[in-house]
Amino acid sequence: MGGNKTELYVPNHVGIIMDGNGRWAKKRGLPRYVGHTYGAQTFKNITRYISKRGVGILTLYAFSTENWKRPPEEVNAIMKIFRQYLVDSLTDFRDDDIKVVFIGDRSVFDPKMIDLINETEEVAKNRKGMLLNIAMNYGGRDEIVRAVKLICNDVRDGKITPDDITDNFIKSKLYTGSEPDPDLIIRTGGEHRLSNFLLYQSAYSEFYSTETLWPDFKAEDFDKAIEEFNRRSRRFGGV
């Protein structure tokens, strides 16, 4: 496989739905939150590998707006891991030149967490390497509702007319702004659904599902997804 890597087209924007942490822990007789700890290490390893493969943008689905419904002990564990990640990320990915941005509604987090998020973005803002979008308290429908409200405000304030509302204008109001749409969305854990991830942006994204649970996802699993992506014929509604 290694000899073919340079021959394969590497997509510019990849999204990953990191699924299976809880099931990974349950299979081992461990509390669900332990799986998130192992998943966090996979997150770091895979991010670095994908950056080295030449991907321009990586969007990782870390915590959805619906994940608050999970058991409190699991949510608390995830928030603790997230906070530690923010502390670590002030130096993490520095040598990799990875720019870190958080997408989603950050207003629900406590002030200290918000300060850490802002500081993490500030420290990384001038990096020139891969853009890493981390989706925290993110939901595709919530993102679209937010965009509609912003557009309505612009119309109300006389900044635009309804005729000014185009596909590109709507995109500019999304969390991902002017970023190109994802070429490939990978979901671990064997499920075959988007689960409210990048709903507007993924209209023509290729979807790849693997049975591998997220803590077990390795570089070779990503390579398999890229190989499958290269076998697809992307027609974007054409013939």
d(CA 47, CA 234): 25
**If pLDDT is split at 50, 70 and 90, which confidence band does 84 have?**
confident
The CATH number that applies at residue 56 is 3.40.1180.10
Which ranges in 53-164 belong to alpha helices (H)? 72-89, 111-124, 140-156
DSSP bridge partners of 185? 15, 207
> 137 φ, ψ to 5°?
50, 50
> Over the stretch 107-124, which tens digit does the pLDDT of each residue have?
999 999 999 999 999 999
- Assess if residue 151 is contained within a domain: no
- Average pLDDT for the chain: 93
- Assess if residue 239 is contained within a domain: no
Domain count, the chain: 1
> Over the stretch 159-183, which tens digit does the pLDDT of each residue have?
999 999 999 999 999 999 989 999 9
- Assess if residue 153 is contained within a domain: no
d(CA 124, CA 76): 27
**For residue 205, which amino acid is it?**
S
DSSP bridge partners of 58? 14, 132
CA 34 from centre of chain: 21
The answer on pLDDT for 23 being more than 90 is: yes
Domain encompassing residue 96: 11-139+181-228
- Assess if residue 94 is contained within a domain: yes
- Assess if residue 21 is contained within a domain: yes
- Assess if residue 49 is contained within a domain: yes
- Taking each helix axis as running N to C, give the angle between helix 32-52 and helix 72-89, from 0 to 180 degrees, rounded to the nearest 10: 30
d(CA 2, CA 101): 31
Which is catalytic among the residues 4, 12, 21, 67? 67
Pairing of β 206-209 and β 57-64: unpaired
Based on the residue annotation, tell me whether 19 is a catalytic residue of this protein.
yes
**Segment (H or E) for 236:** none
> Over the stretch 204-237, which tens digit does the pLDDT of each residue have?
999 999 999 999 999 999 999 999 999 998 777 6
Based on the residue annotation, tell me whether 45 is a catalytic residue of this protein.
no
- Assess if residue 81 is contained within a domain: yes
> Which of 51, 124, 131 has its CA nearest to residue 89?
124
- Assess if residue 41 is contained within a domain: yes
Which is catalytic among the residues 19, 92, 142, 183? 19
pTM for this model (two decimals): 0.92
